[in-house]
Amino acid sequence: MSQETELQPYREGLDELAEHYKQVLTLLGEDTEREGLLKTPMRVAKAMQVLTRGYHMDAHKVLTEALFKEDYSQMVIVKDINFFSLCEHHMLPFYGKAHVAYIPNGYITGLSKIARVVDIYAHRLQVQERMTQQIKDCIQETLKPLGVMVVVEAKHMCMQMRGIEKQNSITTTSDFSGAFNQAKTRQEFMNLIHNYQI
């Protein structure tokens, strides 16, 4: 068994998914029997299962697996979390960075777990707005902190490759709860993540 398979096992329905991609290639006008395309349907099927693995992962469980009691009540920030996702409208990639902050209320979680939460929600068909909210809601519901704030900045290939074809536009979304309803707290978070680039 290859390392890739061990790390990212493929799910049921892989053969059927590959058959559908073979039909898609035919409908696009390609010859699926030519050498360069013989293995393409299965490759795409495997890639799509990897890119949507978040449907079969529990982000709440990830946080609770590394939950520690700690009397720390200042802001915890994990910034510049790289992610790749697929927009649900065109199934084209959007990618960028997420910045997440929470103010503990008796419990903290492992820092890598915050990045894992972003990864889980990014590995689904998404819109950036909903993904931002899902990350915030997961942390708020699971850790029950004094507040959570999430900022996501991304470039969307559906804007770059098709439609309006704007190459340098960046979409920013944010969501927050609790203590971050105070403008001063939100501004502190924004100041702390200010110096970064996509």
Of these residues, 4, 70, 88, 129, which one is catalytic?
88
Judge whether 197 counts as a catalytic residue. no
Of these residues, 123, 126, 138, 156, which one is catalytic?
156
The whole-angstrom separation of Cα 88 and Cα 158 is: 10
Of these residues, 87, 123, 126, 134, which one is catalytic?
87
Judge whether 87 counts as a catalytic residue. yes
Of these residues, 20, 89, 129, 187, which one is catalytic?
89
Of these residues, 30, 133, 158, 160, which one is catalytic?
158
Judge whether 194 counts as a catalytic residue. no
Of these residues, 30, 60, 90, 133, which one is catalytic?
90
The whole-angstrom separation of Cα 58 and Cα 116 is: 10
Judge whether 128 counts as a catalytic residue. yes
User: Closest Cα partner for 46 from 10, 92, 20, 84?
Assistant: 10
Of these residues, 128, 138, 140, 153, which one is catalytic?
128
Show which residues are catalytic: 87-90, 128, 156, 158
